[in-house]
Chains A and B, each alone.
Chain A
């Protein structure tokens, strides 16, 4: 019994220590952003890398999720004669929950892994030390540009994910399943409001920060040569994915206080 308690206690402490480390990296990055010139050329390069190249993944994910979600809703709701609400329910679910979470998980897999691998390789090949020896802080050069790129890209990616999910849901509902368009569109416009879009964008922004800081932390802490470089991306993806799901739960309640559901 005591053994189990000790283990749980240790795990809790390890998680707290990890959060502390990531928070410290975040603080250093924001201090750097506010106190210094940001390297915009690098930011642009990472926007291409992080943002532009993630679009396909995020759009496909959103589109298929929207499509199956509206089909399943239709199978259930048409029996109750409520088929016209399929579009609004899908849109609300996508904006408030699925869009940001799915986009977050996909970007964690694609971008988080590559950031951790890239910085991790630089760490074990002494390139990070070489930067420092030239008098360049690794946070300024490696972390801040990626953070800035992520802050710009992630809300846009979430917006794309949500937009395409609603479009594909509409297509499935109206063209494939033959739901009457007038009632469907009226519900969609009536039940989806600006707050839902805010929620999607804010969640996306927060998840983006989680991904980039966890990935940079894993990269900068990489040790033990090739084995370490192999482990860093895996850890980055697993940890940031779990963190996204947990933070999503907290954000759902917090955002409902700020933007109450009508």
Chain B
């Protein structure tokens, strides 16, 4: 459903992506791993045209996205929901208004329908009854889950998760992992999950991409990754930096 071909991107003179090719099939979950600052968030932003690549192409359902103007991207963006790393809640709106916003933009005006869908989405992220709170009154983990609720409320066919479990306690993380799987199983949602949480990776992934030095260093199934003898991958999975205490 989504494919990138050799995308490169530099900020100033810093080359962040040096030729990234990835693809996700319909209904599949791809987990993108890599160290902080290696460009995972930048890749996700390329997929819905928030960032334009310096070179290379992005395809969604076979259609090239790269050349589209901002207004032409709307149809692509309606298909693909994105959970931002920072949650990116609109802080001038309450939780409820944040969640209602994508629905209103889709043209849904019926207040009863909106209220029901808002309640349902909050239920799914384990925050029932939090409609009236302001984003500034929420903890980091709660903001993340409200962000997730805002992402899934529009029922997108594909969801991009930017570190969905970072900053959450282990129990909540686990329930988010199950939610990602459930959305995929029940609704056939295609997912790309950016994370460095190995538990999320092995729980959710049909396929794993490991990003290193601006390229896809490894692309395969979770089992192939576990079996890999590549030092970069083994260090990442086990969390070895190579530093010593002395």
Contacts and interface: CB of A to CB of B under 8 A. Distances in A.
Contacts of B45: 129
B210 interface: no
Interface string B21-50: 000000000000000000000000100101
A127 interface: yes
B91 interface: yes
Given A126-B84, A126-B88, A134 B70 contact: no
A125 interface: yes
Given A127-B91, A129-B45, A129-B50, A136 B105 contact: yes
A137 interface: yes
A126 B86 contact: yes
Interface string B45-59: 100101000000000
A137 B85 CA distance: 21
Contacts, number: 47
Given A133-B48, A135-B78, A127 B70 contact: no
Contacts of A133: 48, 50, 77, 81-82, 84
Contacts of A131: 90
A175 interface: no
A137 B50 CA distance: 11
B interface bracket (residues with beta carbon within 8 Å of A): 20 to 34
Nearest to A132: B50
A137 B70 contact: yes
Interface string B112-142: 0000000000000000000000000000000
Interface residues of A, number: 13
B118 to A, nearest CB: 15
A197 to B, nearest CB: 37
B88 A134 contact: no
B73 to A, nearest CB: 8
A234 to B, nearest CB: 22
Nearest to B101: A134
A248 to B, nearest CB: 34
Contacts of A132: 48, 50, 70, 73, 77
B46 to A, nearest CB: 12
Among the interface residues A126, A132, A133, A136, which one has the most CB atoms of the partner chain B within 10 A? A133
Given A136-B105, A137-B71, A130 B77 contact: no
A167 to B, nearest CB: 37
Contacts of A125: 86, 88, 91
B10 interface: no
B106 to A, nearest CB: 8
B102 interface: yes
B74 interface: yes
Contacts of A130: 82, 84, 88-90
A127 B166 CA distance: 19
A176 B13 CA distance: 67
Given A135-B74, A135-B78, A129 B105 contact: no
A5 B102 CA distance: 53
A205 to B, nearest CB: 27
A132 B45 CA distance: 11
Contacts of A122: 90
A38 to B, nearest CB: 15
Interface in A122-165: 122, 125-127, 129-137
Interface string B157-175: 0000000000000000000
A166 B241 CA distance: 74
Nearest to A131: B90
A133 B84 CA distance: 10
Interface of B: 45, 48, 50, 70-71, 73-75, 77-78, 81-82, 84-86, 88-91, 101-102, 105, 154
Given A129-B88, A130-B90, A132-B50, 19 more contacts: A122-B90, A125-B88, A126-B84, A126-B85, A127-B88, A127-B91, A129-B45, A129-B50, A130-B88, A130-B89, A131-B90, A133-B50, A133-B81, A134-B102, A134-B105, A135-B73, A135-B74, A135-B75, A136-B105
Nearest 3 Cβ contacts at the A-B interface: A130-B88, A126-B88, A135-B74
29 contacts: A122-B90, A125-B88, A126-B84, A126-B85, A126-B86, A126-B88, A127-B89, A127-B90, A127-B91, A129-B45, A129-B84, A129-B88, A130-B89, A130-B90, A131-B90, A132-B48, A132-B70, A132-B73, A132-B77, A134-B77, A134-B101, A134-B102, A134-B105, A134-B154, A135-B73, A135-B74, A135-B77, A136-B105, A137-B70
